[in-house]
A and B are shown apart, each in its own frame.
Chain A
Amino acid sequence: MIFLSLFLNFLKIGLFTFGGAYGAIPIIRETVLANAWLTEEQFSYFLAVSESTPGPIMVNMATYVGFTMGSADHGVLGGVLGSALCTLGTVLPAFVIMILITTVLRRFINNSHVRAVLAAIVPCVTGIIVATGLYMLAELIFPSLPASLGSFSLPALIVAAVLIVFMEVYRRLRKKPVSPILLIVVAAVLGMIFFR
């Protein structure tokens, strides 16, 4: 049953996300790829849409995956149900845990063992995010990964190089990092030039 599977998988995503949306991206990515719900391209493309539309990135991704899978066999209504279930799954752990902490578990968060667990999770999530970013970039430049280094995408390499220079120049000149939306717009223009 696709709807149950959507709900349970996004419940897992909601439960194992620490430190905001970027901590969720590796888990959402592997979940949608493992279940063949989205292709690697669909995932990256919609992640860009999620960054450029308002609201929590995780909710945006959950809504999209739920709609895509729900509407595949059950039409638009199935799509709406799928997105509602995915969003509910993403939100529910945060909702329940936050209420528990606000009411009865106020001291739980200050317990030394709980703090030790959280302190260990922070560098773990950092490592996961760095590894995922590196791998996603490598996969764009060498599209036949992980099987081989055989094929090589020159346009992807050029776009990556130009974007890195742009990010660095922008940061030096404006004294702040370039916003995700602006970077995505610049990348779209570069894509239209180099991927045609």
Chain B
Amino acid sequence: MQKLRELWKLFFTFFKIGAFTFGGGYAMISLIEDECVTKNQWMTHEEMADMLAIAESTPGPISINCATHIGYRRLGLFGAAMTTLGVVLPSFIIILLIANFFDYFLKIPLVAAAFRGIAVAVALLILRVGLKLLRKTDRRPLLVGILLASALLVLLNHILSLGVSTVYVILGAALFGLATSYLKKRETPPSEGEGREDGE
């Protein structure tokens, strides 16, 4: 009974988080902290920071990573399933309702005009996030090289309509990172520390 109540609480908390955050994962983080650290004390601030670091470096939506982690820690696999379902469900329901009539809605000329303006805002928002990440980028030559090469490949892919999936660009960067890390390890086998010889 106790367990069932906690399961419901996990579900409902993440349902709330899913229903009241706009603009994706990063907007959710403060609400997750509010609910899970301050209110329910499911984890400490340190554990939260630790979880976020992992969530950012693992694939998939950040909110799903967090929901899964917290749910699993509280009540195992079933808990993880409930928190994930909770965070997904509001989006799912709302978008289903919108998707049903979105195409008809776009046939109204004024709405269509509004959305042509909105398309410009969407491109600018993507660019803004890109530039923000650019400013935060580590300036080591190797990483800057990966950044430029990736951007160039994606642009060429668009301009020449090559149809090469971006997934291969990511895989390429991952392999490159792995290769350099192996080479580095071979150069400095005895030392335990992180061999950051490139520096600033």
A pairs with B: yes
A residues sitting closer than 8 Å to B (CB atoms) are 12, 14-22, 24-27, 30, 34, 41, 44-60, 63-64, 67-68, 76, 79-80, 83-84, 87, 90-91, 93-95, 97-99, 101-103, 109, 112-113, 115-137, 140, 145-146, 155-156, 159-160, 163-164, 167, 177, 179-181, 183-184, 186-192, 194-196
Q: A93-B59, A109-B54 are in contact. List 12 more A-B contacts (CB 8 A).
A: A16-B170, A27-B166, A60-B94, A63-B91, A98-B54, A115-B181, A117-B174, A130-B131, A130-B134, A133-B123, A135-B158, A195-B116
Which A-chain residue is minimally distant from B63 (CB atoms)?
Answer: A56
B8 within 8 A of A: no
Which A-chain residue is minimally distant from B64 (CB atoms)?
Answer: A94
With known contacts A16-B170, A67-B99, A98-B69, A126–B126 Cβ distance under 8 A: no
Which residue in A59, A84, A125 is a CB contact (below 8 Å) of B91? A59
Q: State the CA gap A118–B177 with chains docked (Å).
A: 8
Check B59 against A17 for contact (C-beta < 8 Å): yes
With known contacts A55-B91, A91-B88, A127-B147, A112–B194 Cβ distance under 8 A: yes
> B1 to chain A: which residues have CB within 8 Å?
none
With known contacts A21-B25, A51-B22, A91-B64, A120–B54 Cβ distance under 8 A: no
Q: State the CA gap A83–B135 with chains docked (Å).
A: 36
Q: State the CA gap A116–B130 with chains docked (Å).
A: 21
Chain B interface residue number, banded: 35 or more
> A18 to chain B: which residues have CB within 8 Å?
56-57, 59, 170
B137 within 8 A of A: yes
> A51 to chain B: which residues have CB within 8 Å?
22-24, 122, 125
Which B-chain residue is minimally distant from A45 (CB atoms)?
Answer: B115
Which B-chain residue is minimally distant from A48 (CB atoms)?
Answer: B118
> A16 to chain B: which residues have CB within 8 Å?
59, 166-167, 170
